[in-house]
């Protein structure tokens, strides 16, 4: 029987391989024929990606799009939406360009399309892989129904410096968690069949190391050892590519002296040769032109560098369009370089099914039926509630009772436009419920809600303007801060409890939104102080796109619920959690520092030669600060629940394994509190002795479980030598025999430990 099964499986695999090979052959023949008819100008035209002019995501806007489509000078358009508009543009290409080559249509579909999910950092806080995949799937359904076939997502840049505004767009600080999420997003977008009319081509960005910008300043330099790159920063990009992502976006930054968009080592040696990536490489917005500002030469020179490094498509800058023919004539690039890039663009179009039917994504009926459906909205509500992280809950301030009067006070209370969060360019801001509106919809008449601005986002009007761009407005009151606060306090007199809706506006994080001060703006801090002085219970509902510094709030406010930016359903989800319909379960995907001076701060640090003694916070001649302990305020993986979980009985199946073996680590988790709840059980490993320094712990597994009150479950993790691998100084992926520590717990700090040995 077994033999028959094996024979059948190998027959199936062989037949599949033959089928794929036949498909590839058909595609290659089609593209060869097409390229045989193309002029050099038409080939270069395919490498040109322009803006469609509907959403502004950069400083330059493309011109003469219509005439360029007709002359075959455009391969792709992004930020153009609606099946009708996209059909019109596609018709120009199909009916009026010489070779009728269809256009691909892209967009930044980052955390939802019309139904907006939490910002990616918030989604990461759910640690819920099926949920995350589901959000990408919904985004693909809605975006393709609006005519699109390409998203510039997932963004998988690891960041350990909360000053960098784009930390909001990724999955945080950790290699393992980010890699797991990268894979889910790609599968969610691309599905099993890219040519289906409801799957989107994924684009992994920003390749590479964009999140390691010096001093957290956007677009700044990255200089990093190869060893660190391979072990800590590259795995999420690789995971996305291994999951089948068929496009990659280059990053803006310099990497060890060569900017990514001109980096042959990165785009060809690593990406194409080592990782066997055979998809499309596109630059970020005007990144080729910016190579001139990096100091690499004029536009012709840098366009040549980018093409030769491995870039296929030029986003917005038109360096390729305007200079490559000249460079070819002058012998600075070869026809093979241009052919390679053109082929990569055409292969994508073929795989998307555009040569079969260029209008397959242009069905207004699908757009009407598949957008903002009840099912999508309920997933958004669930995802938002799961993304919230309960940072503090003294004396069980939360959950609140559904009765009496609640005052919702603060600049984030009444702004629908700020709920979707940064990089939600397709969100319908006008029709997004504010926190208060959403809460009212969820709570009906059970609770009376009163509300007040209480404070401006910041006292600095010019800063507020910069922090509320792209229509993300927040009402501004031009009276003195004292007058605004006094009025708010007066209005809270009738309230039983106060919800302070404070923090960042959505555009205080995201692109070009780096900050050096990560406290809640002082206008809002003063309001919070006044609210606390009323003596009423105060819950801080914190909006933020990054880990803020909350030492003061942690000391003074009884309950803090971090809600990031939860998307379309924020208000309802906040009501669900505040009033106990949903028990919070999110855990931080990035460390919250005590102050900005600790940054960059992350849990998987190296030990140094002078670590602090356990429990000490300052020792002379040890690695620490004079003025603050090394500890974060809230560690990676941290988050509370309305119930409590007890971890006990950590055991391993074997104390020693060989390189061919594996072991199982188990821990008993018991819900010891008064509510049913979800817990994220985390597995970390420490390599105690190695031929090179290793992190003090690294996440290697997790399990999100649901336990009823009083219930226990034994959670097991299989640990194999693969989990112990690392890149050595020669960049070989190796396992070394020795002693390892297994650490399991509810976060990266509060773990229980047990050791095992790996033998040869």
Tell me the catalytic residues: 284
| DSSP sequence for 149-183 | -EE---B------TTSGGGGGS--S-HHHHHHHHH
Shortest Cβ 249–ligand BGC spacing (Å): 6
Site for ligand BGC in 358-377 (CB under 6 A): none
Burial class of residue 460, CB neighbours in 10 A (0-12, 13-18, 19+): middle
Site for ligand BGC in 735-754 (CB under 6 A): none
Q: Is 57 in the site for ligand BGC (CB under 6 A)?
A: yes
Determine, following the binding rule CB under 6 A, whether residue 58 of this chain makes contact with ligand BGC: yes
Scan residues 591-610 and list those touching ligand BGC (CB under 6 A): none
Residue 51 CB, nearest approach to ligand BGC (Å): 8
At closest approach, how far in Å is the CB of 488 from ligand BGC? 38
Q: How far is the CB of 511 from ligand BGC (least distance, A)?
A: 6
In whole angstroms, what is the distance from residue 643 CA to residue 48 CA?
55
CB 708 within 8 A of CB 674: no
Q: What CA–CA distance (Å, rounded) separates 271 from 377?
A: 37
Rounded CA gap, 292 and 296, in Å? Answer: 5
**618-638 burial, b if ≥16 CB within 10 A, otherwise e?**
eeeeeebeeeeebebbbbbbb
Q: 91-120: which residues touch ligand BGC (CB under 6 A)?
A: 108
x/- binding map, residues 321-340, to ligand BGC, per CB under 6 A?
A: --------------------
User: Of 61 and 689, which CB lies nearer to ligand BGC in the complex structure?
Assistant: 61
Residue with smaller CB distance to ligand BGC, 513 or 544: 513
Answer whether 68's CB lies under 8 Å from 48's CB: yes
Task: Determine the size of the site formed for ligand BGC (CB under 6 A).
Answer: 8
177-216: which residues touch ligand BGC (CB under 6 A)? 205
* Closest CB 80 distance from ligand BGC, rounded Å: 12
3-state SS, one letter per residue, for 713-760: EEEEEEECHHHHCEECCCCCEECCCEEEEEEEECCCCCCEEEEEEECC
* Smallest distance, ligand BGC to C-beta of residue 251, A: 8
> At its nearest, how many Å lie between ligand BGC and the CB of residue 542?
25
Contacts to ligand BGC from residues 683-722, by CB under 6 A: none
Nearer to ligand BGC, 205 or 452 (CB): 205
Shortest distance in whole angstroms from residue 237 CB to ligand BGC = 14
The 10 Å Cβ neighbour count of residue 276 is 9
CA gap 392, 562 in Å, rounded: 9
Residues 504, 509, 512, 518: is their CA dihedral positive or negative?
positive
Contact 104, 352 (CB under 8 A): yes
**Which C-beta is closer to ligand BGC: that of 155 or that of 667?**
155
CB of 61 to ligand BGC, least distance (A): 12
Q: What x/- string results for residues 2 through 41 when contact with ligand BGC is judged by CB under 6 A?
A: ----------------------------------------
CB 573 within 8 A of CB 388: yes
CA dist 58 to 75, 116, 306, 543, Å? 19, 21, 20, 25
Q: Would you give the binding string for ligand BGC spanning residues 488-517, x where CB under 6 A is met?
A: -----------------------x------
Q: How far is the CB of 23 from ligand BGC (least distance, A)?
A: 30
Nearest to 393 by CA among 101, 660, 677, 171: 677
* Rounded Cα distance, 724 and 214, in Å: 30
Beta partners for residue 741, in sequence order: 686, 755
What letter does residue 210 receive in the DSSP assignment? Answer: G
- Binding of ligand BGC at residue 314 (CB under 6 A)? no
Q: Are 437 and 496 in contact (CB under 8 A)?
A: no
For residues 323, 329, 330, 334, the Cα torsion angle rounded to the nearest 10 degrees is: 90
Q: Which residue in this structure is represented by tokens 């062989």?
A: 14
Nearest position to ligand BGC, beta carbon: 57
The structure tokens 């009276």 sit at 479
Could you give the 3-state DSSP secondary structure of residue 634? strand
Q: Nearer to ligand BGC by C-beta: 184 or 284?
A: 284
Output 114 or 572, the one with its CB closest to ligand BGC.
114
* Cβ nearer to ligand BGC, comparing 285 with 603: 285
Nearer to ligand BGC, 81 or 393 (CB): 81
x/- binding map, residues 248-287, to ligand BGC, per CB under 6 A?
A: ------------------------------------xx--
Indicate the residue among 285 and 470 with the shorter CB distance to ligand BGC: 285
Distance CA 557, CA 536 (A): 11
Contact, 278 vs 272, CB < 8 A? yes
Nearer to ligand BGC, 247 or 523 (CB): 247
Joined tokens for residue 692: 């090179």
Which residues in this chain contact ligand BGC in the complex, by CB under 6 A? 57-58, 108, 152, 205, 284-285, 511
């Amino acid at each position: 029987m077994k033999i028959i099964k094996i024979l059948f499986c190998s027959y199936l695999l062989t037949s599949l391989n033959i089928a794929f090979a036949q498909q590839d052959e058909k595609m290659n023949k089609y593209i060869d024929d097409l390229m045989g008819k193309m002029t050099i100008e038409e080939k270069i035209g395919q490498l040109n990606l322009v803006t469609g002019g509907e959403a502004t995501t950069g400083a330059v806007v493309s011109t003469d799009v219509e005439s360029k489509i007709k002359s075959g000078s455009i391969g792709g358009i992004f930020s153009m939406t609606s099946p009708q508009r996209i059909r019109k543009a596609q018709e120009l290409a199909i009916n009026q360009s010489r070779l009728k080559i269809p256009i691909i249509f892209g967009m930044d579909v980052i955390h939802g399309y019309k139904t907006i999910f939490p910002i990616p950092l918030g989604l990461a806080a759910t640690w819920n892989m099926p949920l995350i995949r589901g959000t990408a799937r919904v985004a693909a359904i809605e975006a393709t129904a609006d005519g699109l076939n390409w998203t510039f997502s997932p963004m998988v840049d690891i960041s350990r410096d909360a000053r960098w505004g784009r930390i909001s767009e990724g999955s945080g600080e950790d290699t393992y968690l980010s890699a797991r999420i990268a894979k889910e997003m790609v599968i969610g977008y691309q599905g099993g069949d890219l040519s289906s009319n409801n799957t989107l081509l994924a684009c992994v960005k920003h390749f590479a190391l964009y999140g390691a910008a010096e001093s957290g300043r956007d677009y700044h330099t990255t200089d990093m050892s190869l060893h660190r790159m391979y072990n800590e920063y590259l795995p999420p990009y690789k995971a996305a590519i291994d999951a089948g992502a068929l496009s990659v976006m280059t990053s803006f930054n310099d990497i060890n002296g060569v900017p990514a968009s001109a980096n042959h080592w990165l785009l060809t040696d690593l990406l194409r040769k080592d990782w066997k990536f055979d998809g499309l490489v596109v630059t970020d917005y005007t990144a080729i032109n910016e190579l001139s500002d990096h100091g690499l030469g004029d536009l012709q020179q840098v366009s040549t560098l980018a093409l030769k490094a491995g870039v296929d498509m030029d986003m917005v800058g038109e360096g390729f369009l305007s200079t490559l023919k000249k460079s070819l004539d002058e012998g600075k690039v070869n026809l093979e370089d241009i052919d390679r890039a053109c082929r990569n663009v055409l292969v994508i179009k073929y795989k998307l099914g555009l040569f079969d039917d260029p209008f397959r994504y242009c069905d207004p009926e699908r757009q009407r039926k598949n957008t903002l459906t009840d099912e999508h909205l309920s997933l958004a509500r669930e995802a938002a509630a799961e993304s919230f992280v309960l940072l503090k809950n003294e004396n069980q301030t939360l959950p609140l009772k559904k009765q009496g009067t609640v005052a919702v006070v603060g600049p984030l209370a009444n702004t629908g436009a700020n709920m979707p969060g940064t990089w939600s360019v397709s969100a319908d801001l006008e029709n997004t419920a504010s926190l208060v509106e959403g809460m009212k919809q969820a709570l009906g008449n059970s609770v009376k809600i009163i509300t007040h601005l209480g404070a401006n986002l910041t006292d600095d009007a010019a800063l507020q303007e910069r922090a509320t761009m792209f229509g993300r407005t927040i009402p501004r009151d031009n009276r003195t801060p004292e007058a605004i606060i006094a009025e708010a306090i007066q209005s809270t007199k009738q309230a039983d409890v106060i919800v302070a809706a404070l923090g960042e506006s959505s555009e205080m994080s995201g692109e070009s939104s780096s900050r050096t001060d990560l406290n809640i703006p002082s206008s809002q801090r003063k309001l919070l102080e006044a609210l606390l002085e009323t003596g009423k219970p105060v819950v801080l509902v914190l909006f933020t796109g990054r880990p803020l510094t909350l030492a003061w709030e942690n000391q003074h406010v009884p309950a803090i619920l971090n809600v990031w930016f939860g998307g379309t359903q924020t208000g309802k989800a906040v009501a669900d959690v505040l009033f106990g319909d949903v028990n919070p379960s999110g855990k931080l995907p990035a460390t919250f520092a005590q102050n900005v001076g600790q940054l960059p701060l992350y849990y998987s640090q190296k030990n140094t030669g002078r670590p602090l003694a356990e429990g000490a916070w300052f020792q002379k001649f040890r690695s620490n600060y004079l003025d603050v302990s090394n500890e974060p305020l809230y560690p990676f993986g941290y988050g509370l629940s309305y119930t409590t979980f007890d971890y006990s009985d950590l055991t391993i199946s074997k104390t020693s394994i060989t390189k061919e073996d594996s072991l199982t680590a188990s821990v008993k988790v018991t819900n010891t509190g008064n509510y049913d709840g979800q817990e994220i059980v985390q597995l970390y490993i420490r390599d105690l002795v190695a031929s090179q320094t290793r992190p003090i712990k690294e996440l290697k597994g997790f399990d999100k479980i649901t336990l009823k009150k009083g219930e226990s479950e034994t959670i097991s993790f299989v640990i194999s030598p693969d989990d112990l691998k690392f890149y050595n100084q020669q960049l070989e992926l190796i396992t070394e025999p020795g002693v390892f520590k297994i650490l399991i717990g509810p976060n990266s700090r509060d773990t229980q430990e047990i050791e095992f040995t790996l033998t040869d």
